Chains A and B, each alone.
Chain A
Amino acid sequence: MIELAKYLLRRFFWMLLTVWIVYSVSFVLMRSVPGNPFSAERSVPPAIERQLRARYNLDAPILQQYTDYLKGIVTRFDLGWSIRLEDYSVNQVLAEGFPVSASLAIFALVFAIGLGVTAGVISAVYRGSTLDTSMMVTAVLGIAIPNFVLASLAILLFVFLIPVFPAAGWGTLRQVALPALCLGLPVAAYIARLTRAGMLEVLTRDHVRTAYAKGLPKRTVILKHVLPGALLPVVSYLGPATASVLTGSLVLEKIFALPGMGSHFIYAATQRDYTLAMGMVLTYTVLLFVMNTLVDIAYAVIDPRVKLQ
């Protein structure tokens, strides 16, 4: 337990460092990119632009902006007011978007893990059969098609050809199903391949042979003796999987008109909404960091040989 606490403490320190570096880099990047948050089709007269700059503390010397904003984040968790969505503070935007993105990601991951592991196990157990081949071909297909294409095809198929899901929107379980499916499918495909490879390797190990020799039923052997070991690569893939789910949701939110964080992420960056963009980058950084840490812990939990460091 103490070992774990120590580990978490150390990771927390690294997270702070990461967040700080990301903050600094994004700060510099954002301000070195051409364009400013107040550009509009009707060009803003200089007097008005100055007023706007003052409102967002953009008229202060650059170093002071850097420290002021950092101070706000550290002391009050205050990411400031969004410049483009001016009726909202960044915290409010996050509060609205995060639950949506989170539940989409959870559904997608649950779906991906469920489907991926099942498919992987089946295909490993019936290795070389037609079922195995077709599942693995499907899995590669899932990896080989960009998810915006996948989503568009899925809409045609499941909305128009066989009308089971609504076309877009957010708010009901039926509405979340199709985007979660599209988001989870590439991850599921990857997991299926990893599980299969892991299973095949573990199946040849001595302790499995022993278990079989003892006369244990096949199902017990696979679930109790093979699967935990075979899932190790899957667990270590969950960190990147989260990242890919978060990235993928940028696309799917656009196609399915979902009110998640992903679209803010792109808009904030392309529209030079300094505060919102910063809020998004920091949120994603923390999310990814937490996920990676969880994955490391999970790894140590499943595999006793692994030490947390």
Chain B
Amino acid sequence: MNELAPTSRLGDANEETLRRLLAEAENIHGVSLWQDAWRRLRRNRTAMLSLIFLILLVITTLITPLLPLQSPIDKDLDNRVFLSPNVTSISMGSRPGLKFQDTSLVAELNAFESSVAEERDVIAKLSDTGERQQAQAELDSRIDVEHPFNQLWNDLGPVSFAMCRLRVAVFGDFALPSVFGTDKLGRDLLARVFWGSRVSLVVGVVATLVSLVIGVSYGAIAGYFGGTIDALMMRIVDMLYSIPFIFVVIFLVTFLGEDSVKRRLDAVGIDQITIFYIIIGAIYWLTMSRVVRGQVLSLRHEQFVEAARTVGASPARIVFRHLVPNTLGIVIVYLTLTIPAVMLFEAFLSFLGLGVSPPDVSLGLLLNDGVEALSSVKLFWWVVVFPGAALALTLFALNFLGDGLRDALDPRMKNR
């Protein structure tokens, strides 16, 4: 561990020895656990590949709106239903049903923006403040309702909106062809896989973080106090292990989907998908708490904890400042294993029809659609293969990274 070795015991050793020891110590280059682990991880090819893949994945999911993808929600029912993978180029806004000017998103956007600008000029010339404000509000609501982006993307937040705007500025009407094919309603699968990964990954990460917060605090507290408190807290965990959670989830999802409840939550700024994360997270903390408790139990009699206690640190400070950081290694390993579990659980809920609701899209939802089109009568293989591959690759990478991290952080492997 990288805590300082207590020097106080050397107090009665003679100075000569002390100086010699210090000189020796200076020659040793301390290798921290993390540096050591990182060194070992770097030697693990699969783990490194996984890490790189995951970093790329995170980046792409962050900038999905910037990529020259087709619209994930625009359904071209008349011409593009169940197209197999192809490279026929497609330009944004070309579907006649959209009624875009010159069947082009750029043209429509320009037309819209110039008309907004005109209106703005008119408003600016208004002399009466009240009138001006009113006109301004009207214009804002018009932008809100009539913006061409509404037709192609669903509920863009301000950041995503800006990214979409930038995307149009950079790529214009260009969009990648449907190399993954299209689905039963004529939507581009490539775009859907990207946007779906975004949702799935966010569900996985956020829910895991929720489970992390609950599990680590619970486990650390139980482990630190030990004795009766520990026994009781762990019995409760045992008990929770025996509860069939899907049942609870079904009920919570319906309960929280209830209008009155939703409105109340909306008022505090929590939407349904957030609740979804929290519910899943609230289920997956059990194992985490057990693992952390085990670690803390073995750490709590270490000298650095005693030291902290003697200088009068509060239990909370000891737990969260001194003990929890030392369990980080194992926690990270479990994180990489919990995220896949959560993502699979999301897919499972989608299969039962309890997942995210359209036009939002997640990999689970895509897979559910895909499985539906998987039949001996006619095989639309691309609707299941690409989302399946996306999910499998992500989970693959997470699993391998988890394995690699476990090996790397294993103290027994030190300096190997």
- Name which of A56-64, A91-99, A141-149, A227-235 contacts chain B: A141-149
In contact, B241 and A247 (Cβ under 8 angstroms): no
In contact, B250 and A140 (Cβ under 8 angstroms): no
In contact, A152 and B371 (Cβ under 8 angstroms): yes
**Which residue among B242, B374, B395 has the maximum number of chain A CB atoms within 10 Å of its CB?**
B242
CB under 8 Å from chain B, chain A span 1-40: 14-15, 17-18, 21-22, 25-26, 29-30, 32-35
Given contacts A32-B255, A141-B396, A280-B247, contact A247 B242 (CB under 8 A): no
Interface assignment of A299: CB less than 8 Å from any CB of chain B: no
Given contacts A145-B391, A250-B246, contact A292 B241 (CB under 8 A): yes
Give the complex CA separation of A115 and B348 in angstroms: 24
Give the complex CA separation of A251 and B364 in angstroms: 14
Interface assignment of A81: CB less than 8 Å from any CB of chain B: no
Interface assignment of B384: CB less than 8 Å from any CB of chain A: yes
1/0 per residue, CB under 8 A from A, across B10-27: the answer is: 000000000000000000
Given contacts A149-B384, A269-B247, A269-B250, contact A141 B241 (CB under 8 A): no
Instruction: Choose one: B243, B384, B396; the contact of A140 (CB below 8 Å).
Output: B396
In contact, A146 and B235 (Cβ under 8 angstroms): no
Instruction: Choose one: A143, A281, A292; the contact of B395 (CB below 8 Å).
Output: A143
Residues of B within 8 A of A281 (CB): 244, 247
Closest Cβ–Cβ distance, residue B386 to chain A (whole Å): 12
Residues of B within 8 A of A160 (CB): 376
In contact, B254 and A148 (Cβ under 8 angstroms): no
In contact, B238 and A292 (Cβ under 8 angstroms): yes
1/0 per residue, CB under 8 A from A, across B381-402: the answer is: 0001000100110111001100
Given contacts A33-B251, A140-B399, contact A146 B242 (CB under 8 A): no
Interface assignment of A285: CB less than 8 Å from any CB of chain B: yes
Residues of B within 8 A of A32 (CB): 255
Residues of A within 8 A of B72 (CB): none
Give the complex CA separation of A238 and B235 in angstroms: 19
What is the number of residues of chain B that contact chain A, defined by CB distance less than 8 Å?
A: 40
Residues of B within 8 A of A22 (CB): 242-243
Query: Can you name the residue of chain B whose Cβ is closest to the Cβ of A309?
Result: B231
Give the complex CA separation of A155 and B336 in angstroms: 31
Give the complex CA separation of A146 and B242 in angstroms: 23
Residues of A within 8 A of B367 (CB): 146, 148-149
In contact, A14 and B239 (Cβ under 8 angstroms): yes
Closest Cβ–Cβ distance, residue B373 to chain A (whole Å): 10
Given contacts A18-B242, A35-B254, A160-B376, contact A149 B247 (CB under 8 A): no
Residues of A within 8 A of B340 (CB): 143-144
Closest Cβ–Cβ distance, residue A152 to chain B (whole Å): 5
Interface assignment of B121: CB less than 8 Å from any CB of chain A: no
Closest Cβ–Cβ distance, residue A5 to chain B (whole Å): 19
Interface assignment of B351: CB less than 8 Å from any CB of chain A: yes
Give the complex CA separation of A291 and B73 in angstroms: 45
Give the complex CA separation of A96 and B338 in angstroms: 35
- Interface magnitude class on chain A: 35 or more
Query: Can you name the residue of chain B whose Cβ is closest to the Cβ of A186?
Result: B344
Given contacts A32-B255, A145-B391, A266-B352, contact A246 B244 (CB under 8 A): yes
Query: Can you name the residue of chain B whose Cβ is closest to the Cβ of A189?
Result: B399
Interface assignment of A256: CB less than 8 Å from any CB of chain B: no
Interface assignment of A110: CB less than 8 Å from any CB of chain B: no
Interface assignment of B229: CB less than 8 Å from any CB of chain A: no
Instruction: Choose one: A29, A149, A240; the contact of B251 (CB below 8 Å).
Output: A29
Instruction: Choose one: B235, B255, B287; the contact of A29 (CB below 8 Å).
Output: B255
Closest Cβ–Cβ distance, residue B240 to chain A (whole Å): 9
Given contacts A144-B399, A251-B351, A289-B242, contact A34 B370 (CB under 8 A): no
In contact, B239 and A33 (Cβ under 8 angstroms): no
Give the complex CA separation of A30 and B247 in angstroms: 10
In contact, B371 and A148 (Cβ under 8 angstroms): yes
Residues of A within 8 A of B395 (CB): 140, 143-144
Residues of A within 8 A of B388 (CB): 145, 149
In contact, A285 and B244 (Cβ under 8 angstroms): yes
Query: Can you name the residue of chain B whose Cβ is closest to the Cβ of A11?
Result: B238
In contact, A277 and B392 (Cβ under 8 angstroms): no
Instruction: Choose one: B246, B251, B374, B392; the contact of A152 (CB below 8 Å).
Output: B374
In contact, B250 and A266 (Cβ under 8 angstroms): yes
In contact, A144 and B247 (Cβ under 8 angstroms): no
Instruction: Choose one: A35, A144, A240, A285; the contact of B396 (CB below 8 Å).
Output: A144
Residues of B within 8 A of A135 (CB): none
Interface assignment of A284: CB less than 8 Å from any CB of chain B: yes
Interface residues of B (CB under 8 A from A): 235, 238-239, 241-244, 246-248, 250-252, 254-255, 258, 287, 340, 344, 347-348, 351-352, 364, 367-368, 370-371, 374, 376, 379, 384, 388, 391-392, 394-396, 399-400
Which A-B residue pairs are the 9 nearest by beta carbons?
A: A144-B395, A284-B244, A289-B242, A288-B242, A146-B347, A160-B376, A144-B392, A269-B250, A18-B239
Q: List 29 A-B contacts (CB under 8 A).
A: A14-B238, A17-B239, A18-B242, A18-B243, A25-B248, A29-B248, A32-B255, A35-B254, A141-B392, A144-B392, A145-B392, A146-B351, A146-B364, A148-B348, A148-B371, A149-B367, A149-B370, A149-B384, A149-B388, A153-B374, A240-B287, A246-B244, A247-B244, A247-B348, A250-B352, A265-B246, A269-B247, A288-B243, A292-B242
